[in-house]
Amino acid sequence: MSLVQPRPISAPDLQLWLQGDAPSPRVLDVREAQELMMAKFPTDVLHLPLSASSEWIETLQSRLVPNQPVVVLCHAGVRSHHFGLWLLDQAWGLEVWNLEGGIDAWSTQVDDTVPRY
């Protein structure tokens, strides 16, 4: 197991980052398609459903911009944390963050119009 971990970020801090003047991170959503239909993240995301990894794994590195931080999200922050670990293990030099509490935390702490499931 890697000693390097994704950096945790809270939903309110991610909101500030996305609304601020600093360059925005690339948001990767690893939830399944039906989860996105229930609760969409309110900004542009790269949707990478983990169950379909065989469809996107070969092109993933080319879809990421060097030096652009990556924030990974899922429903509660567990799948995204594991995916963040995998990203860091690829040694692509990415700055990887994990949205603590996932879309559920976004709904309860930032935007209650995003449905909870």
Catalytically annotated residues: 74
Q: Which two tokens stand for residue 80?
A: 């995204």
Structure tokens at 81: 């944390």
- Sequence-distant (6+) residues with CB within 8 A of 27 are 41, 43, 44, 45, 46, 70, 71, 72, 73
Expressed in angstroms, the distance from the first to the final Cα of the chain is 31
